[in-house]
Amino acid sequence: MFSVGTDIVAISRISEELAERILSEEEKKIYNSFKSVKRKKEFVAGRFAAKEAFIKAYGEKNLDFKKIEFLKDENGKPIPGKKLKKLLNDIELQVSISHEKEYAIAVVIVLRRDEK
Q: Which residues are catalytic?
A: 56, 99
Q: How many CB atoms lie within 10 A of CB 46?
A: 24
73 is in an annotated binding site: no
Strands 2-10 and 78-80: unpaired
Dihedral in degrees, nearest 10, Cα atoms 60, 9, 50, 27: -120
26 is in an annotated binding site: no
- Could you list the residues known to form a binding site, using ranges: 7, 52
- Could you list the residues known to form a binding site for Mg(2+), using ranges: 7, 52
